[in-house]
Structure 1
C-alpha cells in the first residue's frame, strides 16, 4: 500500500539551521527545544495520515511531544503509542511504558574536535517490549514481504537496523527473518542479565542530508505501517 506524502525533511529541519550543539547557551537550549517541538508538530499530522492510510483509523493512537531540556543534542521526542493506559500517573509514564511505540526526534548539528560540523537530522525508533515482540512473530509474512518489496529498486537505507551494543542486525534484506533474529537475541540478552525487565527490541534509523531524501519517507512509512500492523494484531 502506497502511503507516500512527499515529505521534505530538509524543509522541516530548516528552522534549526545555524544551531550547533557546542555553541549553545542556556537560552539557546530553550529555543532549540521549542523549535524541535514545532518541527515534530509539523511532522505529526503526516504521520497520523500514514497510520490512517495503513489502517482504519488513528483515533485510538495517542501522541505527545516530551521535551528533554537535559539533552542538548536531542531536545525532545514525539511518541505515538496505543491509547490504552499502562500508567495512571502521567502520559509520560504511559508513553514510555507502552508495549510498542513509534518515537521521532530531531537532533542538532554538532562540531567535533577537528571542527568538522555534522548536520542536523531525524531519529526514528520503533520500540517493542516483550508482548509486542510476540505480536510481531504472529504477523503474516506478507506484511514484511510487501514492505520489503516497496523498498526494492534502489539502494537500501544505510543504518536502518536494530539497536544492539554488540551485534550488527540490519532490518533489510529478509525483514521478517531479521525481526525474528532480533527478538531471539533480546530474549537471550534478558536471560543473561537475569533481569525482570525485558531487553526491548528497537528498530532504529537516523536521517540527515547526507542520505537520500527518499529514504526518509520510505523508512518512516515502513515503521508506521509496522506500528499499525502490530496495533491491529493486538486486537485479534
Structure 2
C-alpha cells in the first residue's frame, strides 16, 4: 500500500487492501445440539451486522445498562454473568460458530432473556452497530495473546482500537480486561495507562483483584492449581 495514501485511493486504482481484523476465523464442526440451538434461538437472540446501528432499548424492550463482551468463547461465563445481573442487558460478540451455538443453548437452559449475540468481527460491530456513549461496560477476557514478538501487532488491545472503544463507552463506563499471559497483561497496562480519557481503577495503579462479576472458569481454576497467574485490568472512561 506504500504507493497509496489511503485504502480509498487504492480501491479507485483497482487494488484491494486486506484489512486487519480483530480475530482469526476458526471454523469448527457444529454438534447437533449447537446447530439446533442456532436454528431455534437465533431468530430471537441473534443480531445481524447488516442491520446497522442499534437502539438497545428497542432490542431488549427496556432501558437498562448494556454490557458488551468481545470474544465470549463457548459462552458459559457470559450466560452466568447475564443470569447474575438481570438488571443489565448483555451483548456478546463471537466469530466461532460452535461457540455461538453453545452460548445460545446455555442461555436457553438457564432461561436467560437479557442476552443477545453477534456472530461477526468485533471491530466492525463497534463501528457500525453500537452508538457512541451507549455501553456501561466492555469485557475482553482471555483474548489471543499473540505471544510471539513479531505477532504483537495483531493483539486487539492497541491504542487505535482503545480510542474507538472509548467512544462507545458512556462516561463512567468501564473497559474490563483479563489475561493469563503476563506479557500481554503488561502490554495492556502500558497501552491503557497512556490512553487518553481513561483512569485505572486499580488502587495500586496496575491490576485489580478478580471482581465477583467475572466468573472463575474451569480453565482458570486449573491454572490456579498449576500456579499460573491471571491479571484483571479495569479502566474507567473519564472523558
Structure 1 length normalisation: TM-score? 0.28
Structure 2 length normalisation: TM-score? 0.28
| Greater relative contact order (Cα < 8 A, sep 6+) | 1
More helix by share: 1
